[in-house]
Amino acid sequence: MTHRIAVIPGDGIGKEVMPEGLRALEAAASRFGIALELAHFDFASCDYYAEHGKMLPDDWFETLKDFDAILYGAVGWPATVPDHVSLWGSLLQFRRRFDQYINLRPCRLLPGIKSPLADRKPGDIDFYVVRENTEGEYSSVGGKMFEGTEREVVIQETVMTRHGTDRVLKFAYELAASRPRKKLTSATKSNGIAITMPWWDERVAEMGKRYPDVTVDQFHIDILTANFVMHPDWFDVVVASNLFGDILSDLGPACTGTIGVAPSANINPEGTFPSLFEPVHGSAPDIAGKGIANPIGQIWSGAMMLEHLGHKEASDAIVSAFEAVLAEGDRSVLTPDVGGSGTTESLGRAIAARLES
Ligand code: GGG
């Protein structure tokens, strides 16, 4: 069986880490006899916008809907396209139209990487953020009145539905139930945001009746962020709304030393539409073009894609390969964010070589 993969590098360092993501993917595919057919697309990028005045072609949905998965890089080039235009014109369209309602973001302290938190070692930080991915604070419902005048009014609503909330909570409970610690943490702000968030808490309690083995903690987001930094070892599976999940899944990897290694999966669990795999990091205009971005977030996202496609062994081999290269700690190979003087390509090549050996 051949898996058809749509490859979309996007913007900035997305274009630099994608070749290394593909190098590792192809090395794993060849080692495990997996047939991949890659189709490359230049849309969902600000370069495409510069040429066409939009982020996506009109037929993007038809073009992508029958792929088995999408491997994406990063979006955003604020010097030419405002960030909300590029994000809403691309990634957020994919998540919503392909009903990728789970955003799964592992957060793990990897060997050889120094956490900025004192005395943390691999194993101490190992949790998942499960982010609601199609509604909530990202619903884009609202508008402006009297724009540009003294009477200007701006309104934006958070939309939470029982259908949308229960399905992400179910996924999070099931993930927690499958892990040894069986622990779920829910992030809200129920004292201040007094309608949607207490309601989310009620849905957590209701869903919990189906999972008596799972221990549940509920935290306000403010103290939760403090505890991510002070006690990252407390967490196993953390479930949150779209915005809170986005923030937590940058903070978590930052506690593991670099956001450059963090992967994510935007999943349509029913398989009706392709799921999308992308590093958590964005296009990083500050380092784009320098060839020094860490490719592990992209490579690990490719590993998550292989697991999603049913190739757990190949996925594990990719993770073992980058863990081995990091543990070896050759500074000439590693990128600067993890203490090296190497490049995106030197780190990518070292990981692919491990997979080939
Ligand atoms: N590779 C992920 C990416 O480009 N992220 C840019 C970003 O700002 N994403 C916001 C989001 O994930 O909602």
Q: Whose CA is nearest to atom 1 of ligand 1?
A: 74
Whether residue 178 is found in the same domain as residue 289: no
Contact 30, 23 (CB under 8 A): no
- Residue 151 is assigned to a structural domain of this protein: yes
Q: Are residues 6 and 92 in the same domain?
A: yes
Q: Residue 119's pLDDT is what? A: 83
Q: Are residues 212 and 147 in the same domain?
A: yes
CATH of the domain at 93: 3.40.718.10
Ligand 1 probe mutation, 87, 93, 300, most atoms within 8 A of CB: 87
Taking the centre of ligand 1 as the mean of its atom positions, its distance from the CA of residue 7, in whole angstroms, is 16
The reply to whether 152 and 247 lie within a common domain is: yes
CA of 265 to the centre of ligand 1 (A): 12
C-alpha 279 – ligand 1 centre gap (Å): 8
Examine the pLDDT at 357 and tell me if it is beyond 90.
Answer: no
112 within ligand 1 shell (Cβ under 6 A)? no
pLDDT in tens, 12-21: 999 999 999 9
Q: What is the reported pLDDT for 102?
A: 98
* Predicted confidence band of residue 330 (pLDDT cuts 50, 70, 90): very high
Q: Are residues 234 and 275 in the same domain?
A: no
Q: Which domain holds residue 241?
A: 126-255
| Averaged pLDDT score across all residues of the chain | 97
Structural domains in the chain (count): 2
Same domain, 285 and 225: no
pLDDT at residue 205, as a whole number: 98
Q: How much distance in Å is there from the Cα of 328 to the middle of ligand 1?
A: 31
The residue to mutate among 18, 91, 96, having the most atoms of ligand 1 within 8 angstroms of its beta carbon, is: 91
pTM of the model: 0.96
For 61-92, write each residue's pLDDT tens digit: 999 999 999 999 999 999 999 999 999 999 99
In a domain, 112, yes or no: no
* Residue 31 shares a structural domain with residue 82: yes
Regarding the beta carbon of 216 and ligand 1, being less than 6 Å apart is answered no
pLDDT bracket for residue 231 (50, 70, 90): very high
Nearest ligand 1 atom to the CA of 73 is 1
The mean pLDDT value for 249-276 works out to 96
Tell me: do 98 and 164 sit in the same domain.
no
The last residue of one of the domains, among 206, 230, 255, is 255
Final residue belonging to a domain, choices 223, 255, 287: 255
Please report the ipTM that was assigned to this predicted complex: 0.91
| 185 pLDDT more than 90 | yes
pLDDT interval class at 118 (50, 70, 90): confident
Residue 282 beta carbon below 6 angstroms from any ligand 1 atom:
yes
